[in-house]
């Protein structure tokens, strides 16, 4: 510890150097926050926060999201959509994106919330239904329709808040979701994520902080672009699933020598190697196969854990590493970390779980009943289009159930 005394009216400067826990950039890993909004009122100018805070957080990528909640004057809406070169400094690239949203009530998630990264323009309407500017707009278009438009113009789509929202499984089934945010603004919850992975979808893990940078949630992406780091290479790595998410611990995972996002053919037990390293305390490093913990190692001094195991497999599926902890961050959230999966196949065996798909069939049918009864549309044709998206999603999961049971 260092002590410095400052007398009244005096100024003292103290440089404090904090050693790196691990040099991730040396192996091509770059951090990002995919989800940030700024407070409506700030003590300082918002430009100062954009210039100072993301670099101070050592973020390589910081995505700010345009959003609408009625007439609230979000200060970040003042910035233009796209790259913000005047704020991309000191090693941080800043991008202005969008959060498209629909709630069924002012504080109750309806269709859901989804982020659009690397877009050339707004995808409108930004908010529908009770979140629209006057709070009276129809609940149309649906969020999966807006995701499809974002992808059409070259954007990357990331579903928010642990997969909350009744259209989330529909959008994933229709192929318009590129990544899945865990813990942005909430405690990490893996239930929805594991259910989708057990349906056989390749879905990268991502994260952010949502309401300002008040915690350390971030996604680390292995970018493999030629000529060093670039936003394009980072986006490509995110979409490929070469990621892990964390609010503190650093994670490594290989399965048969391959990292997160890889797909492999298993001809025997999987050789799994993982490591967790953290300044924040944690309890265990765990290996998760198809949503179940199949191996674990207690943390040494609550700061580091290593694990090497052979994991038997009888059918195709996925494997990921995660950190389990009872400790809290400075912002009061549980310490966590989770890799994107390594996907594996076993010849002649299924890799989807009928129970996971069946649960989503039930969820979509319940959502359709809710939409028919409660949501507003400008015309019967729009209502039919919206319900048609849900019907398409339901049919995809119903087919997965049938195929998984053969």
pLDDT tens per residue across span 82-130:
999 999 988 899 999 999 999 999 889 999 999 999 999 999 999 999 9
Does this model's pTM top 0.75? My answer is yes
Alpha carbons within 13 A on the beta-carbon side of 63: 31
Which stretches within 155-312 are classed as H helix?
168-173, 191-198, 231-240
Of 188, 165, 71, 79, nearest to 115 (Cα)?
Answer: 165
Of the pLDDT bands very low, low, confident and very high (cuts 50, 70, 90), residue 5 is confident
Of 134, 106, 131, 154, nearest to 143 (Cα)?
Answer: 131
**CB-neighbour burial class of residue 225 (10 A; exposed 0-12, middle 13-18, buried 19+):** middle
What would the two tokens of residue 90 be?
């000191």
Of 280, 325, 279, nearest to 298 (Cα)?
Answer: 325
pLDDT at residue 159, rounded to an integer: 98
- Gap between the Cα atoms of 288 and 242, Å rounded: 17
In the predicted model, is pLDDT for residue 131 greater than 70? yes
- Gap between the Cα atoms of 323 and 39, Å rounded: 31
pLDDT at residue 377, rounded to an integer: 98
What is the tens place of the pLDDT at every residue in 143-163? 999 999 999 999 999 999 999
- Gap between the Cα atoms of 230 and 240, Å rounded: 15
Calculate ∠ Cα 396-400-405, nearest 5°.
155
**DSSP 3-state assignment of 369?**
helix
**DSSP 3-state assignment of 319?**
strand
Mention every residue, 6+ apart, whose C-beta is less than 8 A from residue 373: none
């Amino acid at each position: 510890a260092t002590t410095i005394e400052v007398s009244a009216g005096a100024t003292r400067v103290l440089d404090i150097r904090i050693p790196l826990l691990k040099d991730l950039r040396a192996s091509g890993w770059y951090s990002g926050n995919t989800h940030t909004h700024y407070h409506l009122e700030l003590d300082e100018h918002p430009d100062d926060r954009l210039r100072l805070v993301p670099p101070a957080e050592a973020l390589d990528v910081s995505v700010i999201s345009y959003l609408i909640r009625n007439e609230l004057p979000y200060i970040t809406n003042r910035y233009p959509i796209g790259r913000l070169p005047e704020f991309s400094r000191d090693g941080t690239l800043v991008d202005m994106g969008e959060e498209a949203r629909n709630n069924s009530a002012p504080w109750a998630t309806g269709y859901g919330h989804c982020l659009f990264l690397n877009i050339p323009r707004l995808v409108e309407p930004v908010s529908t239904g009770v979140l629209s500017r006057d709070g009276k707009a129809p609940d149309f278009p649906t969020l999966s329709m807006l995701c499809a438009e974002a992808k059409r113009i070259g954007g990357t789509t990331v579903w928010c808040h642990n997969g909350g929202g009744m259209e989330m499984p529909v959008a994933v089934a229709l192929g318009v979701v590129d990544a899945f945010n865990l813990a942005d603004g909430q405690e990490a919850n893996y239930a929805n994520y594991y259910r989708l992975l057990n349906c056989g979808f390749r879905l990268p893990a991502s994260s952010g902080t949502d309401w300002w940078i008040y915690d350390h949630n971030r996604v680390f992406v292995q970018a493999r672009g030629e000529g060093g780091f670039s936003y394009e290479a980072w986006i490509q790595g995110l979409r490929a699933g070469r990621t892990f998410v964390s609010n503190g611990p650093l994670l490594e995972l290989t399965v048969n020598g391959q990292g997160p996002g890889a797909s492999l053919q298993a001809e025997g037990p999987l050789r799994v190697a993982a490591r967790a390293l953290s300044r924040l305390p944690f309890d265990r490093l765990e290996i998760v196969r198809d949503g179940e913990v199949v191996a674990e190692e207690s943390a040494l001094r609550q700061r580091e854990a290593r694990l090497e195991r052979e994991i038997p497999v009888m059918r195709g599926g996925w494997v990921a590493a995660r950190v389990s902890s009872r400790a809290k961050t400075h912002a009061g959230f549980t310490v966590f970390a989770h890799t994107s999966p390594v996907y594996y196949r076993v010849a002649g065996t299924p890799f989807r779980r009928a129970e996971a798909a069946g649960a989503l069939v039930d969820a979509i049918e319940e959502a359709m009943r809710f939409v028919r009864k409660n949501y507003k549309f400008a015309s019967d044709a729009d209502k039919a289009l919206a319900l048609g998206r849900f019907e398409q999603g339901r049919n995809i999961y119903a087919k997965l159930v049938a195929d998984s049971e053969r």
